[in-house]
Amino acid sequence: GAVVSQHPSRVICKSGTSVKIECRSLDFQATTMFWYRQFPKQSLMLMATSNEGSKATYEQGVEKDKFLINHASLTLSTLTVTSAHPEDSSFYICSAGTRISYNEQFFGPGTRLTVL
Amino acid sequence: AQSVTQLDSQVPVFEEAPVELRCNYSSSVSVYLFWYVQYPNQGLQLLLKYLSGSTLVKGINGFEAEFNKSQTSFHLRKPSVHISDTAEYFCAVSALTGGGNKLTFGTGTQLKVEL
């Protein structure tokens, strides 16, 4: 139980294009979803928190116009990196939580974004 | 606010030897505590968690951790490691209330098991 998927697992795009990453909770309803960014050999940096049906809450320093987050249903959240640049290349990980999970988050497998 | 310190960035150990990965936290409120493992190019997998009750928590893959409130620590241990335990390990905390389910992660410890 508590499986979270991400799609795509890897994406390579040209500078200036936009990329959408999907995060799905497969066997439970996720009241809250989180998006993280991880640089090589570093810890996870929380980018934003989203609750179903409401606007995402972004962490300080994260550009909300660049990283668009949509949490349209209890099983799907999307992260769109708009006008991507090489410095946006990173490993993006989503996670999902429920009201009864004692703050535990269930993590997706991650998406490797490379911007050329 | 909470913070997590993992003092050891890398821990090399021989196969079948015991290992301890250290984690200390700081918080003004009560917290839940977690250990996650990350294999290369993968997401995080929960090893174990402390919510309440017994301070010794057993998790998957033979790992266990002990919550020590007075020392604000939650060290991870395994009595005998395998090559397959080579991975990055993250300690994390979450406030019981008011945190909005947010996790605060440590910087991670790379466990390298050698033959």
| B83-112 pLDDT, tens digit each | 999 999 999 998 876 556 788 999 999 999
pLDDT band at B6 (very low <50, low <70, confident <90, very high): very high
Number of alpha helices (DSSP H) and beta strands (DSSP E) in chain A: 0, 11
Question: Are A107 and B45 in contact (CB < 8 Å)?
Answer: yes
Q: Are B95 and B28 in contact (CB under 8 A)?
A: no
User: Is A49 a residue whose pLDDT tops 60?
Assistant: yes
Looking at the partner chain, which of A97, A104, A110 has a beta carbon nearest the beta carbon of B43? Answer: A110
Residue A65 has pLDDT above 60, yes or no: yes
Contacts of B102 in chain A (CB under 8 A): 34, 46, 49
DSSP string, A23-75: EEESSS--SEEEEEEE-TTS-EEEEEEEETTS--EEPTT--TTTEEEEEEETT
Measured between beta carbons, the chain A residues lying within 8 angstroms of B51 are 102
Q: What is the pLDDT of residue A67?
A: 96
Contact yes or no for B101 and A103 at CB 8 A: yes
pLDDT(B47) > 80: yes
Residue numbers in A near B110 (CB within 8 A) = 41
**Are the CB atoms for B21 and B88 separated by under 8 Å?**
no
* Residue at token pair 């019981």: B96
CB atoms within 10 A of CB B72: 16
B92 to chain A: closest CA residue: A104
Instruction: Decide: residue A35, CB within 10 A, 0-12 exposed, 13-18 middle, 19+ buried.
Output: buried
